[in-house]
Amino acid sequence: MSRTGPVTHGDGCRTFGVEEEFLLVDGRTGQPMPVAEQSLCHSQNPVGRVGAASGPALTLEVKQEQLEAVGPVCSTLQELASAIRAGRSLADEAARSVGARAVALATSPLPTTPTLVPQPRFMDMAARFGLTFQEQLTCGFHVHVLINSAAEGVAVLDRIRVWLPVVLALSANSPFWRGTDTGYASFRYQAWSRWPTAGPCERFGSAREYRRHVRSLLAAGVLLDEGMVYFDARLSRNHPTVEIRIGDVCLNSGHAAAIAAIVRALVDRAAQDWAAGSEAPRASVAELRLASWQASSAGAEGTLVHPLLNIPCAATEAVQALLAHIRPALAETGDEEHVTAELARILATGTGARRQREVMLSSQSLTAVVLDAIEHTHGTTQRQHHAPGRFQTA
């Protein structure tokens, strides 16, 4: 989060914020456009300026076909939802200034050859990582949540890891890659997993062990720097937060806000369990990789791996288990009713991956998929569906 560090609100809630990455595309053809630097130069938020402390800011990513909106520190779900909408509007305004549009797609449905942002670090990454870097054009969703210490942060990481595949499933928004339906709900996660440090980690047990592990990775000489420690969730290097990085950027801004609230509740519950002396779940990295792979494949439909039992279960059952786990934390922040309703909506009508496939099925056009996604990103079109029923936990 490119801001001053988060602070607690008067009501005692942990502050949180999000970063959303967007594709820059031609508003007529849907083709990605390499205009990131140009769009920032023409916007009111040029490179190096973070904008108002209470609002979002725009930053470059590694490729010219994408921009990142960095949200402000928020205390309530309502503030965060407003910040997400503002960030999307700001990114689209910058894109429009150079004839493009900003769209919340985690991968490009249309084939493209991404263009490097010519910064020294990115050029070094391109030289070292070859095709992995050349093809890398993915848009993620990162949630930062306040922690009180590194010790608490590592305890949180140890306890939320089993739940992160469900978060991935709920965010899935990348079924297409290079013009092809991949068969996955989140192919972004598959592409991102090419990086040497991407994915889940073992339990650390202490901040000292976390730091030792990171130093060991850097000592191997594979990574350029600590910024390339791409765990699904990690301690922020610059702020007193944990950063949960597993999700796709969500097509629907309401889904994004609800998932951020879920992540904050997971952090709250984990910190409380740690303070109470409860042991972290003993899932191995191999087990978590399987759960994440399945979440990437199925999304919020079909079969997932149960977060606690490590057996196949319906996506609805996995989400029920998640909601039961965090319900007390959601109640404390006042988010329970809204998150429960939004989860019911996701399960009833699908994630962005389902939306993209429905548009493709009806139009037989990947361009139509992108154009529909532009409208959906900015809330100017709504899918018709039945109102979801009340979502209940077992």
Give a three-class secondary structure readout of the chain. CCCCCCCCCCCCCCCEEEEEEEEEEECCCCCECCCHHHHHHHCCCCCCCCCCCCCCEEEECCECCEEEEECCCECCHHHHHHHHHHHHHHHHHHHHCCCEEEECCCCCCCCCCCCECCCHHHHHHHHHHHHHHHCCCCCEEEEEEECCCHHHHHHHHHHHHHHHHHHHHHHCCECEECCEECCCCEHHHHHHCCCCCCECCCCCCCHHHHHHHHHHHHHCCCCCCHHHCCECEEECCCCCEEEEEEEECCCCHHHHHHHHHHHHHHHHHHHHHHHCCCCCCCCCHHHHHHHHHHHHHHCCCCEEECCCCCCEEEHHHHHHHHHHHHHHHHHHHCCHHHHHHHHHHHHHHCCHHHHHHHHHHHHCCHHHHHHHHHHHHCCCCCCCCCCCCCCCCC
Mean pLDDT, the chain, whole residue set: 92
Q: Is residue 393 part of a domain?
A: no
Domain region containing 186:
16-377
Q: Is residue 35 part of a domain?
A: yes
pLDDT surpasses 60 at 389: no
pLDDT tier for residue 87 given thresholds of 50, 70 and 90: very high
State percent of the chain over pLDDT 90. Answer: 89
pLDDT surpasses 80 at 388: no
The total number of structural domains in the chain stands at 1
- Of 348, 347, 345, 367, which Cα lies nearest the Cα of 356? 367
How do residues 90-148 score in pLDDT, each as one tens digit?
Answer: 999 999 999 999 999 999 999 999 999 999 999 999 999 999 999 999 999 999 999 99
Q: Is residue 362 part of a domain?
A: yes
Q: Is residue 385 part of a domain?
A: no
Question: What does the alpha-carbon distance between residue 288 and residue 286 come to, in Å, rounded to a whole number?
Answer: 5
How do residues 185-238 score in pLDDT, each as one tens digit?
Answer: 999 999 999 999 999 999 999 999 999 999 999 999 999 999 999 999 999 998
Q: What is the pLDDT of residue 74?
A: 97
User: Tokens for 53?
Assistant: 């402390």
Q: Is residue 394 part of a domain?
A: no
pLDDT tier for residue 12 given thresholds of 50, 70 and 90: confident
Angle among Cα 160, 162, 168 to the nearest 5 degrees reads: 90
Q: Is residue 62 part of a domain?
A: yes
Q: Is residue 382 part of a domain?
A: no
Question: What does the alpha-carbon distance between residue 234 and residue 231 come to, in Å, rounded to a whole number?
Answer: 6
Q: What is the pLDDT of residue 11?
A: 58
pLDDT surpasses 70 at 250: yes
Q: What is the pLDDT of residue 286?
A: 97
Q: What is the pLDDT of residue 381?
A: 56
Q: Is residue 389 part of a domain?
A: no
User: Tokens for 179?
Assistant: 């013009």
| DSSP strand pairing (241-248 vs 140-146) | antiparallel
Q: What is the mean pLDDT of residues 40-51?
A: 58
pLDDT surpasses 70 at 386: no
CB neighbourhood size of 358 (10 A): 15
Task: Categorise residue 179: left if φ over 0, alpha if ψ from -120 to 50, beta otherwise.
Answer: left
Q: What is the mean pLDDT of residues 141-157?
A: 98
pLDDT tier for residue 1 given thresholds of 50, 70 and 90: very low
Burial class (CB in 10 A: 0-12, 13-18, 19+), 195: middle
Q: What is the CATH number of the domain that holds 368?
A: 3.30.590.20
How do residues 253-280 score in pLDDT, each as one tens digit?
Answer: 999 999 999 999 999 999 999 999 999 9
Question: What does the alpha-carbon distance between residue 391 and residue 394 come to, in Å, rounded to a whole number?
Answer: 10
Q: What is the mean pLDDT of residues 306-329?
A: 98
Which residue do the tokens 């730091």 mark? 211
Question: What does the alpha-carbon distance between residue 255 and residue 339 come to, in Å, rounded to a whole number?
Answer: 9
